[in-house]
Structures are given as C-alpha cells and as structure tokens.
Structure 1
Amino acid sequence: MNETIQTQLNHRSIRAFKDQALTPEQLNTLYDVARHTSTSMFLQQMTILHLTDPVKRAAVREIGGQPYIGANGDLLIFVADLHRNQLIRHRAGNDDGRLHTLDVFLQAYEDATLAVQNVLTATESMGLGGVILGSINDDPKALIKALNLPPMTFPVLGLQIGVPDQSPQLKPRLPKEWMAFENDYPTDLDWDVMASYDQVVNTYYDLRNANQRIDTFTDQINGAKIATQPLLRDEIIEVLHAQGLALDLELQ
C-alpha cells in the first residue's frame, strides 16, 4: 500500500463543488499529467477543452441533463482529435492515410479515455474531487455543434473537477470473484456471491443520504439503463461519419 494506491482505492465521484475555480498552476499540472499519459503509437490524438464560457457550459449542462455540469468547479472536455494529425499530413503534402478508419479513431478514443482517468487520479491526489461525465454524449450531434468542434474530432468524456463540497460514501464495487480470473473466463459464475453483493448495494442505497433509492446491482442491469429504447446516443455512428471518422464502419 502506498499513497497513490490509497488515493485510487478512496475514489468516489464528487458532484457538489465549492464556488472556487482551480488555479492556473493546478490546471497546468493537470494538463501536464494528461500530456504524459500513455498514447497509442505516439500519435497523441487527444485534446482538452477547458470550458469557461457560461453559454457553452450551459449547453453541455442541458445536453447532459445534470445540474452540476458546468456549475461550480472547472469543466474539461476530452476530445479524440485526429484533426491535428490531418493538418500535419496535409502540410507535408500527404493525403489522410488511415485517419478515417475505425482503428485509428479507436486509438484516439483510447488516448482521451486514458487521459481522463490519469487527470482524475491526479486531481484526487491534490485534495480535489471530480466526476467523469459520460452524459455529455446524450446528444453527440448537439454537443459537437455547441463546442464548435471541427471535422475529425469527437468529444469522448467530460470531467467536472474542483474543491469538494460533499463527502459521499464509497460505492461498493463488484467482488473480485466476478471481475478477476486466472487465464480463462469462467463459463459459470457464483450466483451466491452476486446475491451477497446485491444485499451490500441495497444497503448502500438505503443508507446514502443524497439519494433514498432502494436498489440492487442486478436490478439496475435488468432495468431501464440498458433496456431497449431509442436514444440520441445511438446516433453515434452517424455523428462519427459526419465528422469524417470511422468511415470503414458500416451503418446498420
């Protein structure tokens, strides 16, 4: 056990922040952490937008449907960015090469995702808090328009960070027996272990002050979260194609 691991094991999403922006020094430290994150093939296909414009922050909040988005604290949007490398190739007189393929887009997507996690860990190590925002892509077409993003880019995740104004409980995670295996994926899982975990999750929601929902993990998996229903998020392939990305991925 060391300080870094302790910070990681103590992770909890913070959704209430004090009315206090990060200092330039703090932001630059986090930018440097993002810059030094592992990158596929050293293509460095990730960009960060720090949104301070209240109009843009409000637009992202409306898209995500969560009141804390763009409220107190700082809002970062991590972008899969192939536009920069496209410009580099054009300046040298080259065509786009493989930039329009799903493979290269996924490399950019992975670059952005890894940077988000690294920045969040660094944020928490500084005594700050944060929450990863997958909800920014509840309407990817509207988000790209609101952020005025150029072709060959796609917003992957948001990250709201700042000085915590709450101290939520740790959310219980799936037991290791269901997540870590030696060599082979098991053909059967121990449902008694899951039943015990469901009880732990149920107790967590029962006792949590911020939200008096009574729920279990399996209830959520069998509920509305991934039930069959049309969502704007399902237009992601069309949006990617409109951005010039993953063109070799066929529309169904």
Structure 2
Amino acid sequence: MIKNSTINHQLNHRTIRAFKSKTLTKEQLNILYSVASHTPTSMFMQQMSIMHITDPDKRTAIREVSKQPYVGANGDLFIFLVDLYRNQQIRHQKGKDDGRLHTADIFFQGVDDAIMAAQNVIVAAESMDLGVVPLGSIKNDPQKLIDILDLPKMTFPVLGLQIGIPDQQPQLKPRLPLKFTTFDNSYPRDVNIDDLKDYDQIVTTYYDLRDANRRVDSFTNQIAGPKLDQHYTKRDEIMKVLHQQGLCTDENIG
C-alpha cells in the first residue's frame, strides 16, 4: 500500500474542537496563507480571500451565529470568502463593466477556489501538528455574518476554519465504505438501506465508545433524523442573501 507522511496525515484526519490557549505564530500564519494562495484557481481569477478574526467581539458574535461553544474560543479563526469584489474593482478601474461577475457560474468558480484553498490549509496545518475544525455553521445566519464582518457586495463567506494546538485526542470517525461513494462511469441507482447495516453498527459502536459528547446513533438514523426534516432555518435565506450581495442574479435565465 502506498504510504507517505502526507497520506498518513490525511487518512488520520480528526476534527479538533478543543484548542490550547495559544495563537499561531506569524511564521505559521504566513505558511498557511502561502499554501492557500498556491491552491489551483479557476481561470486564474483568484476569486477568494481569507479573513483572520482576532477581534474578541467579532469572535463572540460569530460564535452566536454558529451556536457552537468552541467557535472563536481558543485557537485562530479564519473565514474563507468568495471574493468577486476585488475583480469587480479591477474591471471598473480598467474602464469595463461587471461583465459575467454576477452569474452563478462565476460565483461557483469562487466557491471552488475558496473550498480548495481551505482544504489545502487543513492539510498544511495538520502537517504542522495543528488541529482544525471546519465551520459550515458560520452560514447559520448569512446576513448577520456579513454584517459582523462588514463585507462589501460581491463577497460571500462560505466556510470557516478554526486552527490551533489540539487540546483533545478524539477517535477516528468511521466513513462510508468506498463502494458507496466511488463509482466507475455510471451512477448506481439501486441504493438499499439494508446494505448499510454493517456500517450502521460501526457508527453506533463509534458513538458508544468515543471519549466525549457520547451519542449512540447509526448513520442511517442520522440521515432520517431531524437535521434533514422539513423545517425553516436562516440558512434557507442563502439565495436571498446572495442576491442582496449581487451574486447569482442570473438564476432565472432560460
């Protein structure tokens, strides 16, 4: 089996939610920023930016949006943005209009840039024995987060990362077997819940044995649970907020 230090880190990835009360050094920050900047970027448009949130009031406000007690506590907090504002300003100063910047196509190119940069930062941080927790929860109230960060139109926060020195050692969380997630040439439509019984048992055992936040549950029960049941959340306003930011305004074309 092919093994090297990078693959070993990736195969042993654990989400860290407790960090020691120490911030990253300037050298560590610059390394992570450089790694992010060298991520592949669609059409070389470089349509993402990173905000490093050090202000205690902003961190507290972001924690309230996320509704997770570890967000903005210890460690360093980063917000990855789709950033079309910079390129809009470049076009204007070159005497051009906004062109295709308001299309869903360009927005999703920016999403690709931001998410790939975040993943590169995760790999780099873990290679330095740092811990990371990705924070999709920053989008629990997208407009409030935009207000907290005082973001201009043509930007949108897509993912947070909290990075720091781990203060816990969680167990490795079991993932779906590859036969359920990787396919050659065509997508299999014969999904049968009975085929997931063994994996359900593995997940249930994981929750039964893990060190903290004990919850005995199976994978299929989680999928059939309240998270995906019909209910309103502020996340349902994402498209409305995108439009208010001047993004994806072509969605009804055709």
TM-score tier by shorter-chain length is over 0.9
Question: Which residue matches 1:103?
Answer: 105
TM-score of the two chains, using structure 2 as the length reference? 0.97
- 2:212 is aligned with 1:210: yes
- Counterpart Cα distance in 1 of 2:250 and 2:228: 26
1:135-159: CA deviations, max 9, x gaps?
A: 0000000000000000100000000
How far does the alpha carbon of each residue in 1:96-140 deviate from its partner, in whole angstroms, 9 at most, with x for none?
000000000010011101111110110000000000000000000
Structure 1 stretch displaced more, 234-243 or 205-214: 205-214
The residue that corresponds to 1:65 in the other structure is 67
Q: Look up the equivalent residue of 2:133 and give its one-letter code.
A: V
Q: 1:198 aligns with which of 195, 200, 203?
A: 200
- The corresponding residue for 2:26 is 24
- Identity, in percent, stands at 62
1:1-150 maps to which residues of 2 (within 5 A)?
A: 1-150=3-152
Shift of 1:189: 3.5
What amino acid is aligned across from residue 243 of structure 1 in structure 2? Q
User: Which residue identity is paired with 1:169?
Assistant: Q
SS at match of 2:35: helix
SS in 2 for 1:37: coil
In structure 2, give the amino acid aligned to 1:53: D
Query: 2:246 pairs with 216, 223, 244, which one?
Result: 244
SS of residue paired to 2:134:
strand
Distance 1:147 1:187 in 2: 43
Letter in 2 for 1:67: P
Question: How big is each residue's C-alpha offset from its partner over 1:188-232, in whole Å with a ceiling of 9 and x where there is no partner?
Answer: 145444100000000000111211211000001000111100010
In the alignment, structure 2 segments of 5+ residues that lack a partner are none
For residues 250 and 18 of structure 1, what CA distance do their matches in structure 2 show?
48
One-letter amino acid of the counterpart of residue 65, structure 1: K
**What residue number does 1:151 align with?**
153
Q: Which amino acid aligns with 2:81?
A: V
Q: Displacement, 1:234?
A: 0.5
CA distance in 2, matches of 1:29, 1:124: 12
State how many pairs are aligned: 251
State whether residues 16 and 131 of structure 2, in contact with CA within 8 Å, keep that contact through their aligned partners in structure 1.
Answer: yes
* d(CA) in 2 for partners of 1:78, 1:242: 19
Cα deviation for residue 86 of structure 1 reads 0.2
Q: Which runs of 4+ in 1 moved over 4 A?
A: none
Cα deviations by residue, 1:43-68 (Å, 9 ceiling, x for unpaired): 00000000000011111000000111
Separation (CA, whole Å) in 2 of partners of 1:49 and 1:191: 42
- Using the TM superposition, give the Cα deviation of residue 181 of structure 1 relative to its aligned residue in structure 2, in angstroms: 1.5
**Matched AA of 2:244:** A
CA contact (8 A) 2:171 2:211 kept: no
CA distance in structure 1 between the partners assigned to 2:151 and 2:251 by the alignment:
21
Tell me: CA distance 1:230–1:190, structure 2 relative to 1, closer, same or farther (3 Å): closer
